[in-house]
Structure 1
Amino acid sequence: MTETTTTLIATHSGTFHADDVFGVGILMGVFPSHRLIRTRKQELIDTADFVVDVGGVWDAAKGRFDHHQRGFDGARPATEVEGALVPGVGYASAGLVWSAFGTAYVQAWCKGQGHALDEAAVAEVVRSIDHSLVQYLDIVDTGQGDVSPGIFGLSSLIAQLNTHWLEEKGLDHAAKAQLLETRFREAIAITRKFLDHVISKKVAQLRAMDTVRQAPRLLGGRVLHLQEGGMPWTHVVLNEMPEVMFVIYPDSDGDQYQIKTVPVEAGSFTARMDLPKSWAGLRDGELAAVNGVLDSVFCHLNLFIGGARSFEGAVKMAELALADVAAA
């Protein structure tokens, strides 16, 4: 297919789910010149360039992405956990389309945003999106789990966009079908906007990694100084900087410097080192009276973040926190 060719994408009519919405949305992003049909008529399905969640065939080379047929056993590769092989999550249509066209979608997104990522970086974005999002759409759609971690709640959100009996009351078949298609397209728009934002965050993380690695380290290497606020640093610090206890960076409002503890692992509320207990919940003058840093702004009650008006003040807070632990 050339760029000027109109790509025909088919999926089933009637109630939609997140996996068919997602799969069709990916193909729409990869093939901007497209036409969509929602049908269960095999003679129409057979004319499509790509078929999602209907048709009874899985053959990526032929553009067929269904998972309902007898004998279907498509699944992600097994992984080893504590010496035992754990089967990979089975595919629904979302995962089938992403496995075939995730790379092309990410590349198209990067091109549109002016980001230049090498092949390895694109592959990492595709892997990350599958791990954090797509597999949970598949889990819900195939009944592999009723409650899953991650952001699988997108499945429930998409399901709410289906029409209900009161909306359909008094409508003939054609009007119902048109209303459902309108909702389906709304669901695609929501899903793609969400997906694009997830991709954007992952790309930002990858592009920040070298900046984080090259950032100055203070106080014997135990404090990392980032000159830009909002930069994702957790992955690099957790995996490559075991000696770093605190990270200092300018607040997004530009009126203070924050000092943040480093968690023991991603998502954990337990830190490698807390700020001093005597600072908990104090602000401004009360905090300054306790720690002696005149431009202290705050220390969170749970001791994972604090701030000062100046960079020097934040560094002094880090120095005091390190000394507090050493003296304990």
Structure 2
Amino acid sequence: MLIATHSGKFHADDVWAVAVLDILFPGSQLIRTRDAARLAEADFAVDVGGVWDAAAGRFDHHQKGFDGARQNGVVYASAGLVWKEYGGRCVAQLAHECCGQELPPQRAQEIAWAIDSDLVQYLDMADTGSAKNAPGGYGLSAVVSGFNPTWIDEQMAGSVEAAEEFRLNQFRRAMGFIREIIINAVKYRVGALLALDQVRQAERLEGGSVLFLGNAALPWSSVVRNEMPEVLFVVSYSMNENRHMIHTVPVAADSFKARKDLPKAWAGLRGGELAAVTGVEDAIFCHNNVFIAAAVSYEGIMRLARLALAEPDPRGA
């Protein structure tokens, strides 16, 4: 396959779009040009050429009259156009390659929509100038733009041809960076999907107020929040660190407020100090914001859990 995008300065939307196509069509040739004849030869023309026609492999959004937008009103740039067409296939392929999972097409598409909602649409918003995807200079779009050569790089290159070759190499480096982000996004969501049944079937303790997970790496928060209103604490075991942990349950995905906090008296304590306050000899630490604590043994962490359950809630809950 021959993938074409524009020459000159690149942005996160064209890098994302080309990275997705490169995942789906490994070994593709990449050219960066604005020459109409060369674009016509390409199997895909991304962010250049003035045409949006997915069936023909054309994914530009700069042309007069372009009106492609999501249902929420966010206008497409090239990242979103390519992801709209190929996101489900990309998710399915990476789930197979990186997770050993064969996803049904509808499930792969659902994950692709989630990635668009969480990530891709913000690249488009940054490219079209409708919003920044993060405050300051280090949102993802800004980080990708930072791969572009500076005027010093271009001066040191010594010629237009050498400068463009350097820019092509930087584009490929940015593609590698974006590729890892895409892979991580897919692995995270596939992992969350596979964890659902394990979390749902986990052991309930202390009358259902404590959920025990034998694997601390399992993503549990959304399942517990949405399906287990009686669970106040989650206890897990970390094999890598050989310790048990107790976690509070946030009331919402974007909130630090918990259904019930660990006791304030534990805040910031470690080792002997925490053991003296709790009476749990192998207690290790409690976070200053009392949302997580640890002990070496299962018996120790369950003693902490019972103490936390018995602690009166200052909020009157």
Q: Above 0.5 in TM-score?
A: yes
SS of residue paired to 1:281: coil
Equivalent in 76, 86, 89 of residue 104 of structure 1: 89
The answer on whether the counterparts of 2:75 and 2:125 sit within 8 Å (CA) in structure 1 is yes
Amino acid at match of 1:312: E
In structure 2, the residue matched to 1:308 is: 295
Question: Is 2:161 aligned against 1:161?
Answer: no
Equivalent in 29, 34, 37 of residue 35 of structure 1: 29
Q: Under a length normalisation based on structure 1, what TM-score does the superposition of the two structures give?
A: 0.90
Question: Is 2:253 aligned against 1:266?
Answer: yes
Question: Is 2:87 aligned against 1:93?
Answer: no
Aligned equivalents of 1:153, 1:299: Cα separation in 2: 32
Question: Are the structure 2 counterparts of residues 118 and 246 from structure 1 closer, same or farther at C-alpha, using a change threshold of 3 Å?
Answer: same
Aligned equivalents of 1:152, 1:180: Cα separation in 2: 21
Post-superposition shift, 1:147?
5.1
Post-superposition shift, 1:109?
1.0
The answer on whether the counterparts of 2:214 and 2:237 sit within 8 Å (CA) in structure 1 is yes
Q: Where in structure 2 are there 5+ consecutive unaligned residues? A: none
Equivalent in 138, 147, 153 of residue 124 of structure 2: 138
Amino acid at match of 2:234: V
Aligned equivalents of 2:278, 2:259: Cα separation in 1: 21
Question: Are the structure 2 counterparts of residues 252 and 137 from structure 1 closer, same or farther at C-alpha, using a change threshold of 3 Å?
Answer: farther
In structure 2, the residue matched to 1:248 is: 235
Aligned equivalents of 1:167, 1:217: Cα separation in 2: 60
Q: Report the number of matched residues.
A: 312
Q: Under a length normalisation based on structure 2, what TM-score does the superposition of the two structures give?
A: 0.93
- Taking only the aligned residue pairs, the percentage that are identical comes to 50
In structure 1, the residue matched to 2:70 is: 76
Question: Are the structure 2 counterparts of residues 167 and 283 from structure 1 closer, same or farther at C-alpha, using a change threshold of 3 Å?
Answer: closer
User: What does the per-residue CA deviation read over 1:233-280, in whole Å, with 9 as the maximum and x for residues that have no partner?
Assistant: 111111111111100001353432100101111131111100112222
Question: Are the structure 2 counterparts of residues 252 and 128 from structure 1 closer, same or farther at C-alpha, using a change threshold of 3 Å?
Answer: farther
Q: How does 1:209-248 map to 2 (within 5 A)?
A: 209-248=196-235
Deviates more, 1:318-327 or 1:56-65: 318-327
Deviates more, 1:204-213 or 1:139-148: 139-148
Deviates more, 1:173-182 or 1:318-327: 318-327
Deviates more, 1:314-323 or 1:112-121: 112-121
Aligned equivalents of 1:167, 1:36: Cα separation in 2: 22
Post-superposition shift, 1:136?
0.9
Aligned equivalents of 1:89, 1:229: Cα separation in 2: 37
Deviates more, 1:116-125 or 1:18-27: 116-125
User: What does the per-residue CA deviation read over 1:82-125, in whole Å, with 9 as the maximum and x for residues that have no partner?
Assistant: xxxxxx21110000000001111111112222222233431232
User: What does the per-residue CA deviation read over 1:148-167, in whole Å, with 9 as the maximum and x for residues that have no partner?
Assistant: 47x98121111111112222
In structure 1, the residue matched to 2:18 is: 24
Question: Are the structure 2 counterparts of residues 37 and 53 from structure 1 closer, same or farther at C-alpha, using a change threshold of 3 Å?
Answer: same
Aligned equivalents of 2:272, 2:27: Cα separation in 1: 62
Q: Where in structure 1 are there 5+ consecutive unaligned residues? A: 1-6, 79-87
Question: Are the structure 2 counterparts of residues 229 and 283 from structure 1 closer, same or farther at C-alpha, using a change threshold of 3 Å?
Answer: same
Question: Are the structure 2 counterparts of residues 152 and 237 from structure 1 closer, same or farther at C-alpha, using a change threshold of 3 Å?
Answer: farther
Aligned equivalents of 1:264, 1:324: Cα separation in 2: 19
The answer on whether the counterparts of 2:92 and 2:105 sit within 8 Å (CA) in structure 1 is no
In structure 2, the residue matched to 1:82 is: none
Question: Is 2:45 aligned against 1:51?
Answer: yes
Amino acid at match of 1:63: G
SS of residue paired to 1:107: helix
